[in-house]
Amino acid sequence: MSSTKRIWVTGASEGIGLGLLQHYQRLGWQTVGSSRRTHGPAEADHWIPADLSDSAQRTKAVEQLTQDLGWPDLVVLNAGVGHWAKASETERSDAQRVLELNYWAPVELTRMLAERAQGRALHVVVISSIAARFGQKKLASYSASKAAVALWAESVNEEWQGSAHRIQLILPGVVSTNIMRHSIGRDGQALGDRAGTHRGWTVERTARAIERATRTRRFTHILASPGVRFALILHDLCPSIFYVLLRRKP
Ligand SMILES: NC(=O)c1ccc[n+]([C@@H]2O[C@H](COP(=O)([O-])OP(=O)(O)OC[C@H]3O[C@@H](n4cnc5c(N)ncnc54)[C@H](OP(=O)(O)O)[C@@H]3O)[C@@H](O)[C@H]2O)c1
């Protein structure tokens, strides 16, 4: 039996997911990636194309992974989409697209993998966002989807205590990717050139931090500066001061 470890990363064609494939390939893991694209990047040893907002394609992806490639040692449920529109201007169909990928895909993929575990250990890492922890203008649907998946994962973590399975939650702050360009705007289209600049941690640094997190027993990992972590504590302890300061930010 091969001792090479296998990772499955969703949303692996670019951004954080691609950074994870690169990082784990360097570590000698067998990398399996997924996204809507038919062909994956060179960093993927295997590619499972799937639109993970579609329930039938989610099932097919899990079957392809477990039947054709083998049981994964680590699954990073990273595929996600942003949404940038005022709550009052948000179409229900757009909010549903966001929830389908950001919430239902991790929920359903985890359930299907757990059903197929047959005594094997399952280690799932869910990529949420610090946006799950406070409200921001034009991010209501995105933040709600990330908050929903975070609390779902926290609940699963309780259910899995004492079992062979593990789940961990990652809350990245701003990471330099094209997520804003891909975000759905109020017209239902990707923002593209209308997106503002989005600069933060590099994907390499983020991938390293995620990999470090998987080697700990801790459930939640916030990938952000001490200043941002302090702001999140301030939000929980004294939201009124937090929001006064947030509104002053340029
Ligand atoms: N960047 C940040 O600042 C930041 C901060 C906090 C949290 N996050 C979270 O981190 C994750 C990755 O974000 P990112 O910044 O790397 O975003 P990104 O650069 O926009 O990449 C998103 C990835 O998801 C895939 N994807 C999109 N729709 C999909 C679908 N329907 N089915 C399957 N795959 C799909 C995309 O591939 P295709 O287009 O090829 O399908 C791409 O590989 C997301 O969950 C995001 O919410 C990001």
Tens place of pLDDT per residue across the chain (250 aa): 568 999 999 999 999 999 999 999 999 999 999 999 999 999 999 999 999 999 999 999 999 999 999 999 999 999 999 999 999 999 999 999 999 999 999 999 999 999 999 999 999 999 999 999 999 999 999 999 999 999 999 999 999 999 999 999 999 999 999 999 999 999 999 999 999 899 999 999 999 999 999 999 999 999 999 999 999 999 999 999 999 999 998 7
pLDDT value at position 242? 97
Residue 53 CB–ligand 1 contact under 6 Å? yes
Residue 181 CB–ligand 1 contact under 6 Å? no
pLDDT value at position 45? 98
Residue 17 CB–ligand 1 contact under 6 Å? yes
Give dist(CA 138, CA 135) in Å, integer. Answer: 9
- Are 59 and 116 within 8 A, CB to CB? no
CA-nearest residue, atom 34 of ligand 1: 35
pLDDT value at position 3? 85
Strand pairing of 166-172 and 30-35? unpaired
Structural domain span for residue 124: 6-225
For residue 94, is it within any domain?
yes
pLDDT value at position 223? 98
Compute the Cα dihedral for 26, 52, 118, 1 and give only its sign. Answer: negative
| Ligand 1 center from residue 217 Cα (angstroms) | 26
| Domains contained in the chain, number | 1
| CATH number reported for the structural domain that contains residue 205 in this entry | 3.40.50.720
For residue 84, is it within any domain?
yes
For residue 236, is it within any domain?
no
Residue 101 CB–ligand 1 contact under 6 Å? yes
pLDDT value at position 1? 54
Structure tokens at 112: 């299907």
Task: Check residue 196 and report its DSSP letter.
Answer: P
CA 223 vs CA 47, 139, 208: distances in Å: 27, 19, 11
pLDDT value at position 103? 98
For residue 145, is it within any domain?
yes
Q: 45 — phi, psi (to 5°)?
A: -70, -30
For residue 47, is it within any domain?
yes
Residue 81 CB–ligand 1 contact under 6 Å? yes
CA-nearest residue, atom 21 of ligand 1: 15
If one residue of 103, 177, 178 were mutated to test the ligand 1 pocket, choosing by the most ligand atoms within 8 A of its CB, it would be 177
- Are 24 and 31 within 8 A, CB to CB? yes
pLDDT value at position 250? 78
* CB within 8 Å of 9: residues ≥ 6 apart: 17, 20, 21, 24, 31, 32, 33, 34, 76, 78
> Hunting for tokens 């975000």 — which residue is that?
183
| Ligand 1 center from residue 114 Cα (angstroms) | 23
Structure tokens at 141: 């649907």
Which atom of ligand 1 lies nearest, measured to the CA of 142? 47
| Ligand 1 center from residue 22 Cα (angstroms) | 16
For residue 127, is it within any domain?
yes
Residue 37 CB–ligand 1 contact under 6 Å? yes
For residue 250, is it within any domain?
no
| E strands in the chain | 6-10, 30-35, 46-49, 74-77, 123-127, 166-172, 220-223
- Are 210 and 20 within 8 A, CB to CB? yes
CA-nearest residue, atom 19 of ligand 1: 15
pLDDT value at position 2? 67
For residue 149, is it within any domain?
yes
